[in-house]
Amino acid sequence: MQAIDKELIKKRFQRSLKTYDDEAIVQKGMASSLIDLLTGNAGNKFNKILEIGCGTGNLTRQIVHNLDFQEFITNDIVEESDKYVQNISDRILFTPGDAETIDLSAGFDLIVSNASFQWMSDLPEFLKKLHSCINKDGILAFTSFSPDNFGEISQLTDCKLDYYSQLELIYLINDYFEPIYINNEKEILSFNSPLEVLEHVKQIGVNALNLKFWTKKDLNEFQINYVKYFSDNGKVNLTYCPDYYILKAK
């Protein structure tokens, strides 16, 4: 279980709503891949769907365009997400709040989420909760990130989320879900400078780095070391390690 300040997360994602879509190139690709993997492995017909952490609706849009459904409920801890999903389709019902603590209703055939589960304070417990909302043989399809995600930043600072490895997660939820498809990828983005990396991370709302507490010396050291260790052809790298899970409820 990791200590996650939900109010802070809410504030950061609220602030990043306007910049998120332009910067979240990796997350957009993850949403498309997740839909392809879902339809390839479990079909496209689902009676009742729940999406957790819909944000500005990257995955929501893909669901509306690619899946055949009767009911579709989306959720996000940030209430303003409602405006974004209502622009996508008036068939969507939005439930605001912390998905770990609110009542999510039940009887879902499909629960989906893109790039959000890494923000849960107790992911194994949360997955058990989702199991209680999903029908037997229902599908849980989500993406998250591996422990090596943003390795450049975690090697130079003490800031990182406690990501689960795929093996750990599968072991922890073995009583509740059976894997249908699991995969891990690596995607490297290039930036002109370490400051651009920090700006990118801020604009997608991930800013786990509490820059308020950095001195000028901390920032200088971060930039010098980032260039020293993570440069490539005059650019600096940032590595994303997305994980894909298509699971069936036992």
Ligand X SMILES: C[S@@+](CC[C@H](N)C(=O)[O-])C[C@H]1O[C@@H](n2cnc3c(N)ncnc32)[C@H](O)[C@@H]1O
Among 9, 35, 197, 247, binds ligand X (CB under 6 A): 9
Residue with tokens 């609110």: 102
CA distance 183 to 41: 13
φ/ψ (deg, to 5) at 227? -65, -40
Candidate ranges 74-82, 133-141, 214-222, 235-243; the one touching ligand X (CB under 6 A) = 74-82
CA distance 8 to 11: 5
CA distance 177 to 171: 10
Beta carbon of residue 74, minimum distance to ligand X (angstroms, whole number): 9
Nearest CA-CA partner of 152 in 47, 42, 239: 239
Candidate ranges 53-61, 147-155, 167-175, 238-246; the one touching ligand X (CB under 6 A) = 53-61
Residue with tokens 């496209």: 44
Beta carbon of residue 243, minimum distance to ligand X (angstroms, whole number): 14
Write the interaction track for ligand X spanning residues 116-135; mark x where CB under 6 A is met and - where it is not: x--xx---------------
Q: How many CA atoms lie within 13 A of 56 on its CB side?
A: 16
Whether 197 and 226 have beta carbons less than 8 Å apart is answered as yes
Among 48, 61, 76, 92, binds ligand X (CB under 6 A): 76
CA distance 74 to 9: 18
Q: 30-49: which residues touch ligand X (CB under 6 A)?
A: 31
Binding of residue 26 to ligand X (CB under 6 A): no
Among 92, 99, 130, 201, binds ligand X (CB under 6 A): 99
Residues that bind ligand X (CB under 6 A): 9, 13, 24, 27, 31, 52-55, 58-59, 75-78, 98-100, 114-116, 119-120
